[in-house]
Amino acid sequence: MAAPTKTNAIAIGALALYALAWCGSAAVLFATGSDDAVSAPVILVVTGIGFPLIAWALTRRDQPPSIPVPRPGLELGVILAFLAFYAVAFTGYGLNAFHAAFAPSRLEAVLLVAFKLVVHVGLPVLILLAIGAKPGALFTVRANSRGFWLILLIVGGLSLAFMGVVSPSLKHIEALKLSPPVLAATILGTFAWLAVEAGVCEEFLFRAVLQTRLAAVMGSQAGAVFVAALLFSLIHVPGLYMRVGADVAGHSANLLAVVAYAIAVLSPIGLGLGFVWARTRSLLLVVLLHALVDVLPGVPDFAHTWIAGV
């Protein structure tokens, strides 16, 4: 009984840490009069609580396969060091330099995806191989596993509906004035594009690489979900704070406001996707779900880049 008791204690401690960080961040948003003070609790309930409950209900009889982590402490330490470098050098300076070097165009979009794949997938794979880890085991599909399609349909459908309600994306899409066939093709194109640009990149790095090593070190899948969700949000802070221009959601000259936004608004999304990963070990599933979360807000940008005359 000792091992389960210790595992439960770690999970409870991680939950308490997450709850404290989220409540403090929500209080900051409320105190500063941010519009996100209203949306943050809704996002938490829907994505941070609702999605994990659905995933658990659909996989409660399933035992996801373990992923080998030969040297947990070393691997986690190296990945955390890489993420610290990544947070500043890539999300901050790197993206600013990239956008300054290239004018908005189709070429820029393709190069940006290539840049992201190298940073989010290529470099972590090389780092893990260099220290004797087995990154190949992270590229899991498991489309025939229990709950895969139901989670994709239910959670993915709810994600689309939720983003359609809480974001102005539907109004922005309507303003494009696209014909039904072109609109359908644009939505599918946006989904495929975001599955690579956002889904593969972020889910491989934050769920498959980081969360797997946190779970190995902590000895608790649930505890790893909470800690990984916090790290997922905090790693976005340098990029939001240093981003040139104020047209990015969460951008502010006030560092505390950026931290509060990241934890209160972004971490629940990491919580939902992290729990799905913990219950399924399917990289494909979390990649597709991530793309479904982003697809409606992403349609206008995709249309302006790839559809002539828009």
At 271 the pLDDT is 97
pLDDT tens digits, residue range 40-88? 999 999 999 999 999 999 998 888 888 999 999 999 999 999 999 999 9
Q: What are the sequence ranges of the domains in the chain?
A: 11-306
The model's pTM is 0.94
The end-to-end CA distance of the chain, in Å, is 63
Phi, psi values for residue 44, rounded to 5°: -60, -45
* Residue 207: pLDDT over 60: yes
At 2 the pLDDT is 43
* Torsion, Cα of 11, 1, 218, 259 (10° steps): 10
Compute the average pLDDT of residues 205-229. Answer: 97
Give the Å distances, CA to CA, from 91 to 237, 242, 259. Answer: 8, 8, 14
pLDDT range class, residue 215, cuts 50, 70, 90: very high
How far apart CA 100 and CA 94 sit, in angstroms, is 10
pLDDT tens digits, residue range 89-146? 999 899 989 988 988 899 999 999 999 999 999 999 999 999 999 898 899 998 888 7
